[in-house]
Amino acid sequence: MSDDNNLVISRIEKGRVCVHCCTAPDNGERVNAYIVETENRLVIVDTMLMRPHAKAFRLYADTLGKPIDRVFITHAHPDHWFGMEFFQDLNNVSLPETVEEIKMMARLEIDFHRSQHGELVNDKIFLPNPDASEKSIEIDGVIFRLHRIVAAEDLFMLAIDLPEEKILIAQDLIYNKVHLFVGQRSQDGTMCFAGWIAALQKFMNEQYELVLPGHGIPADASILSENIKNLEIMRGIVESSDGGNFVQNVLDAFPGYGLRSMVEMSAFFLFQMK
């Protein structure tokens, strides 16, 4: 196998947990999946897109030698749940709306990614248990607060914070130096910007010290305002562009940002699927 299948793994000790940030290479959309390691258990957040990456992620979790308490699936985009294939022996949980969204979108997403990557992506629909809701839970003595976010990067999203450790597991509410996917529309056609910015503003009132993005490397709380600023810029570009110049306008506005494919995906959903 080529380097395309190597995950980049970093470990961050914070309070009573150790966060393992596992990042897929560019062909796996540079997506992050996380392991929150407590004294006696592991909590997994998301499961990656491509089979080799998801499998490597599961193998890595197993090397830590602690039971996996559960797997949170934060939202219905395929780079966060396709890899559930390798976690079927575990309790996978999401918001109930995410289960419905996966049911609705999975076939289209599987067909699209199979056309791009063939056997390297999953071809089955895996559904999490619809057990997550806006609430606090305790796992191995650590408080996890679950937040239900509506109409942001995806229609429904789960964000998780550990208030005592001052950690926000933001997943796709935050991208760090990676192009934002802004192609999601609500059923009435509303674009993602207002809901997404409102969600980030709510989290700015908390004093987080570690913010874990869905794409790009972990950051401090300043990444929240940086993402709001980037969303405002993106909203302006969407309003002033057409299908012909959108991609170039975004690349010009964010030099040095990774994953051009995210811009192309936004363009497809904004201008072709209208």
Contact residues toward Zn ion (CB under 5 A) are 79, 172, 214
Nearer to Zn ion, 25 or 214 (CB): 214
Residue number, 38 or 94, with CB nearest to Zn ion:
94
| CB nearer Zn ion, residue 132 or residue 178 | 178
CB of 18 to Zn ion, least distance (A): 23
Closest contact distance (angstroms) between CB of 214 and Zn ion is 4
Residue with smaller CB distance to Zn ion, 142 or 262: 262
Quote the least distance from Cβ 148 to Zn ion, whole Å: 18
Shortest spacing between CB 62 and Zn ion, in angstroms: 24
Minimal distance in Å, beta carbon 75 to Zn ion?
A: 8
Q: Toward Zn ion, which CB reaches closer, 147 or 179?
A: 179
Instruction: In angstroms, give the least distance from the CB of 120 to Zn ion.
Output: 17
Backbone angles phi, psi at 256, to 5 degrees: 85, -10
Find the shortest distance in angstroms from Cβ 78 to Zn ion: 9
Residue closer to Zn ion by CB (options 18, 105) is: 105
Three state DSSP letters for the chain? CCHHHCCEEEEEEECCEEEEEEECCHHHCCEEEEEEECCCCEEEECCCCCHHHHHHHHHHHHHCCCCEEEEECCCCCHHHHHHHHHHCCCCEECCHHHHHHHHHHHHHHHHHHHHHHHHHCCCCCCCCECCCCCEEEEECCEEEEEEEEECCCCCEEEEEEECCCCEEEEEEEEECCECCCCCCECCCCCECHHHHHHHHHHHHCCCCCEEEEEECCCECCHHHHHHHHHHHHHHHHHHHCCCCCHHHHHHHHCCCCECHHHHHHHHHHHHHCC
Residue 52 vs residues 28, 73, 121: alpha-carbon distances, Å: 9, 19, 8
Cβ closest to Zn ion, residue 47 vs residue 249: 47
Give dist(CA 190, CA 270) in Å, integer: 11
